[in-house]
């Protein structure tokens, strides 16, 4: 589950999931929704694998979302589905999506960065929770 919320001049993203891997996958969907609005319009036509190195759950999530943001900025790729797994060196994200097509997608928000402001990734009794603020 993810929720987008207003935050001063930015947008926030709250994510909850049973596992850390599911939290990352849900956060990817949340980022896609912030960028493109209707994530149902994004087809899983292209597959790419991203590797993120590190061991801190907070920074792994931030780095994964930042990689996806770079993919959108440089190549206009929208990824809506990522199967995330932990590796010995960090994360592997097998992502599916497609290039932004103005005929089928709308640009809901221009996300400049995933910020450190109010950044929080924690394991709870129910699973994992994250709060991220996106600079728009």
pTM, to two decimals = 0.91
Phi, psi of 130 (to 5 degrees): -140, 145
- CA gap 10, 47 in Å, rounded: 30
Write out the residue range of the structural domain in which residue 127 sits.
Answer: 2-135
Q: 32-89: per-residue pLDDT in tens? A: 999 999 999 999 999 999 999 999 999 999 999 999 999 999 999 999 999 999 999 9
CB-based contacts of 51: which residues, under 8 Å, 6+ apart? 87, 89, 90, 91, 92, 93
Residue 108 burial by Cβ neighbours in a 10 Å radius (0-12, 13-18, 19+): middle
- What is the CATH classification number for the domain harbouring 14? 3.55.10.10
CB 32 within 8 A of CB 97: yes
- How many domains in the chain? 1
């Amino acid at each position: 589950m993810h929720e987008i919320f207003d935050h001063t001049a930015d947008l926030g993203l709250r994510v909850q999931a049973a596992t850390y891997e599911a939290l990352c996958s849900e956060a990817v969907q949340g980022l896609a929704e912030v960028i493109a609005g209707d994530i149902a319009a994004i087809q899983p036509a292209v597959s790419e694998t991203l590797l993120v190195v590190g061991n801190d759950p907070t920074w792994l999530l931030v780095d994964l979302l930042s990689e996806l943001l770079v993919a959108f900025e440089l190549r206009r790729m929208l990824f809506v589905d990522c199967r995330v797994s932990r590796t010995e060196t960090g994360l592997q994200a097998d992502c599916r999506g497609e290039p932004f097509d103005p005929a089928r997608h709308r640009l809901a928000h221009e996300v400049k960065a995933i910020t450190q402001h109010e950044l929080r990734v924690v394991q709870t009794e129910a699973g994992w929770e994250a709060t991220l603020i996106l600079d728009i």
